[in-house]
Amino acid sequence: MWRLLRWLMGKRGDMVWNTLVIITVLLPLMGLTLDIPRYFILRSTLQNAVDAAAEAAAETVDAETLIYSGGQDLLASGAVQYAHMAFDAVAAPMRARGYNLTIDGIQIDESQDRVTVTAHGDIQYLFGLTPSVAIGARGESWFRSLHTTP
């Protein structure tokens, strides 16, 4: 026991302490310096994608219904399709880099003239050694057509 303590406290044991410091402190800090910017890039791209999807869905107002009845009815199938296309266009560069960005839901609320899109993206921290963490985002857009009174 005495020999072990003397070896650890002497010059020959310095490498053990240096290795412990590097493994327990410096490697996780280095991982965080790489992961924090990745988190913010994923978060901003995901927010841009849901905003684009919500805006694309809101732009699919049924013009014929609007002209003849003054109502704002969305073409639901077209709205969902355009929302997915807009989301995929913004998310494509991140998907090419290995991130998983997915739309969770598209809600069309015609009573409040609003489209809400929710989505999430997955990221792994510390060089991929941790389980995936889901980052969520929500985007809303309102219909932008003009109401005319007869």
pLDDT tens per residue, range 3-47: 766 666 666 656 777 777 777 877 777 877 888 888 999 999 999
pLDDT tens per residue, range 55-88: 998 888 665 566 666 565 666 778 889 999 999 9
Q: In this predicted structure, what is the pLDDT of residue 44? A: 96
* Nearest to 119, CA basis, from 144, 76, 90: 90
- Residue predicted with more confidence, 9 or 104: 104
